[in-house]
Amino acid sequence: MGCEYCDGTLVAKKVTVTHRWQGNLVVIENVPTLVCQLCGERYFDARVMKKIERIARSKARPPRLLQVPVRSYSRLAA
């Protein structure tokens, strides 16, 4: 199976995914996926996507928190 965009080769990798849930940004590490070696497109299995959504909704305390700066393009791009 090749990439549907560039026909590149897909390789299994574990990646970090950012997911928004109810206005919150959740970072999920070590997510299994297929990644195109040419263009970087990611292909997630439906079961993995369901798990990502379940993890994002979880009320369990995360093992750590990240502090992320937020910048406004319209204010800073002038």
The answer to whether position 65 is within a domain reads no
* pTM (two decimals): 0.82
Q: What is the pLDDT of residue 27?
A: 95
3-state DSSP of 18-73: EEEECCEEEEEEEEEEEEECCCCCEECCHHHHHHHHHHHHCCCCCCCCCCCCCCCH
Range of the domain at 51: 1-59
Q: pLDDT tens digits, residue range 1-52?
A: 799 999 999 999 999 999 988 888 999 999 999 999 999 999 999 999 999 9
The answer to whether position 73 is within a domain reads no
Tell me, what CATH number does 47's domain have? 3.10.20.860
- When divided into structural domains, the chain yields a total of 1
The answer to whether position 8 is within a domain reads yes
Q: pLDDT tens digits, residue range 66-78?
A: 998 888 888 777 6
The answer to whether position 78 is within a domain reads no
